[in-house]
Structure 1
Amino acid sequence: MVEITAKELMKEFDLDLLNDNDEVSFRPITTSDISRPGMEMAGYFTYYPAKRIQLLGKTEMSFFYELDTEEQEERMKGLCTYDTPAIVLSRGLNAPDALIEAANEVGVPVLQSMLTTTRLSSLLTTHLESHLAPMTAMHGVLIDIYGIGVLITGSSGVGKSETALDLVRRGHRLVADDSVEIRQEHPGELVGTSPELIRHLLEIRGLGIINVMTLFGAGAVRNYKRLGLTIDLEIWDQKKQYDRLGLDEDYIRIFDTDLPKITVPVRPGRNLAVIIEVAAMNFRLKRMGINAAEQFSERLSNVIEEGDRDEF
């Protein structure tokens, strides 16, 4: 999980810091949930979610200004705790003196945005969900093939990068090579990206490092892609029985998400780029309800049943 603070949000969303910079302590944000403290403004702090970003809009501030001075100071001190990562005012609203004083006492940054409250809440939530999502790194290549995010895995030297280069030449888009950062942003949804250091780069043995975007254009790369399928390349084993019909379904588990997995044996003469391309197209057909392997199995069962009836 990547650590993020209000300082990063200031840069990302052009937020202005309203209180004393010397008094501010930029604490880690640990949750993507945003709180609009309406009940707290009314004085109910029993279940106050202090670790969330507190978003104050026109509704909250209108109610605040109807309180007397003592209540205003009390409510602002209740909002500002040592766990609170930031308090954000939307619509360009100014921070009252009571809020500035309470925030400076415990080092809570008070920020201002010109966006509407609903729009700001949506943007902040989306940004935090993306950055705070569980993340892992896997050795492999991620390619966007016909809209399917295909993660190509296998042992070092099996031909993953060379296959990726062939797929890029065929019009598909590279997301990441060698190291793929995978985040689970939502249940059942895995998104892969490339580390910044090696973004848009491919390593081809004997050739070296190449920049895919420079060689093939901006249409040959993309920065992130949702994972849909894993294809594991392995050296052909004569003693191993490989699936010839496609009825067997295998999965790889990443976090709590099961990702479909296909094992493709590698040996001289096999065009891996074409095989992976067809695998992606066949995967799309399966999601549309068309399964060639099951259709063949049904035909075969019908032929066998008809043959048994003819014998009687």
Structure 2
Amino acid sequence: MKITEFVALFDLEVLNQGSDYESALLTITDVNRPGLQFHDFYDYFDQRRLQVIGKAEVTYLKGLTEEQRRKCFDDLFLYDIPALVISRGLECFPECLESAVKHEKTLLRTQETTVDFTSHTIEYLNRVLAPCVTRHGVLLDIYGEGVMITGDSGIGKSEAAIELVMRGHRLVADDAVEIRRVSNQLFGTAPEVIRHYIELRGIGVIDVRQLFGMRAIMKEAGIDLVVQFEQWDNTKFYDRLGIENHYTEILDVKVPCVTIPVRPGRNLASIVEVAAMNNRHRRYGYNAAQELARRVDLRADAGSGKKS
């Protein structure tokens, strides 16, 4: 992410533009408060991090002489840091500004407290810089469950999606799903250019937001379940009980997965709806297949006890 975009997004005051202000990038999701560096400790220092000083650092620096403060900032600006941010709207030391100009480093200021600014920055960078992949499929929010439908082109994903939208569920993405991994969780959204659109063969492209209103769309959703559509194969065995849990891996995160065979006469929208509700039950600890198996075992044990 470019420093210029970050400055505009967080409404930061630019005290000095560094020589790399237009090209500098934030490439790491953490920030650093250079308290140890002001004590001349650079043995463990990541210069890629955004540097932030707050009231604690400013209070310490006030106790130093002008020459000592100048040395602190000169030493820091010798490194290729993306920028230094002063929080709380605190006054900038003249030595800090002089050193930033001398070394051509970007110096910024925010009105937020140090804790608020660092937490907001880390949270935002975790999303923006998160690992990302694009998958072919449809993503919907069904009863609060993020369900991604995948399968071969033309198998009926979009048709099932529009039926689910008409039942009151919300569309996130059709055709292409951009997936990001944030703190071991997956979140999906649509590419900006095709957001809110669905392609229906025989009808063409429709705008879901315009046809069904804001209630029918959602910008982003977590991915809790993957539903794989495939053509019915009479030679293949399909799970009829669902005792075992099946998973697919996306960006090294395991996501529950079910395979639904497609053939004429099956109401795919209803099946996906039930799959979403069943997945939610499982996440809360209830597995209908295991409960049925337990009842059958109890009945069998009771029957064998009577015979003996």
Q: Which amino acid aligns with 1:276?
A: V
Which of 295, 301, 304 is the aligned partner of 2:300? Answer: 304
Residue number among 186, 210, 227 corresponding to 1:231 in the alignment? 227
Question: Where does structure 1 lack aligned partners over 5 or more consecutive residues?
Answer: none
Q: 1:135 to 1:81 in 2, by over 3 A?
A: farther
CA distance in 2, matches of 1:131, 1:72: 35
Encode CA deviations 1:260-300: one digit per residue, 9 max, x unaligned: 00000111111111111011111111122221100111111
Amino acid at match of 2:68: E
State the partner residue of 1:126.
123
Q: Any residues of structure 2 matched to 1:28-47 within 5 Å, and which?
A: 28-47=25-44
Q: For structure 1, which segment, 12-21 or 41-50, has the greater mean C-alpha deviation from structure 2 after superposition?
A: 41-50
Given that 1:50 and 1:81 are in contact with CA atoms closer than 8 Å, whether structure 2 keeps it comes out as: no
What does residue 287 of structure 1 align with? 283
RMSD of the alignment, in Å? 1.6
Q: In the alignment, which of 261, 278, 282 is matched to residue 257 of structure 2?
A: 261
Counterpart residue number, 2:237: 241
Alignment of 1:1-312 (within 5 A): 4-20=1-17, 24=21, 26-187=23-184, 189-312=185-308
How far off its partner does 1:214 sit?
Answer: 1.0
Instruction: Please tell me the residue identity of whatever aligns with 1:93.
Output: L
Q: CA deviation at 1:96?
A: 2.4
Q: What amino acid does structure 2 have at the position aligned with 1:265?
A: P
1:14-63 C-alpha deviation (Å, 9 max, x unpaired): 11111146663542212111111112223322222321111111221121
TM-score after normalising by structure 1: 0.94
The alignment's TM-score, normalised by the length of structure 2, stands at 0.95
* Contact persistence 1:24–1:104 (CA under 8 A): no
**Matched letter for residue 62 of structure 2:** Y
Question: Which moved further from structure 2: 119-128 or 92-101?
Answer: 92-101
Residues 25/218 of structure 1: CA separation in 2 closer, same or farther (3 Å cut): closer
Query: Deviation digits for residues 203-234 of structure 1, max 9, x if unmatched?
Result: 11111111111111111111111110100000
Deviation at 1:65, TM superposition (A): 2.3
- CA distance in 2 between counterparts of 1:163 and 1:122 reads 40
Separation of aligned partners in 2, 1:24 and 1:241: 60
Cα distance between partner residues in 1 of 2:33 and 2:79: 18
Once the two structures are superposed, residues 178-201 of structure 1 have per-residue CA deviations (whole angstroms, 9 ceiling, x without a partner) of 1111111102x1111111111111
Contact residue 56 and residue 90 of structure 1 kept, 8 A: yes
- Whether the 8 Å CA contact 1:141–1:152 is kept in 2: the answer is yes
Conserved 8 A contact 1:45-1:78: no
**Aligned residue identity for 2:151:** G
Task: Write the distance in 2 (CA, Å) between the matches of 1:20 and 1:30.
Answer: 19
Give how far 1:242 is off: 0.6
Unaligned runs of 5+ in 2: none
Runs of 4+ aligned structure 1 residues displaced above 6 Å come to none
- Separation of aligned partners in 1, 2:213 and 2:189: 19
Pair 103,26 (structure 1): closer, same or farther in 2 beyond 3 Å? farther
Q: Distance in 1 between matches of 2:215 and 2:83?
A: 39
Q: Quote how far apart the aligned CAs of 1:97 are.
A: 3.0
- Percent sequence identity over matched residues? 43
After superposition, the Cα gap between the structure-2 partners of 1:244 and 1:103, relative to the gap in structure 1 and judged at 3 Å, is same
CA distance in 2, matches of 1:173, 1:25: 39
Q: Is the 8 A contact 2:3 2:22 kept in 1?
A: no
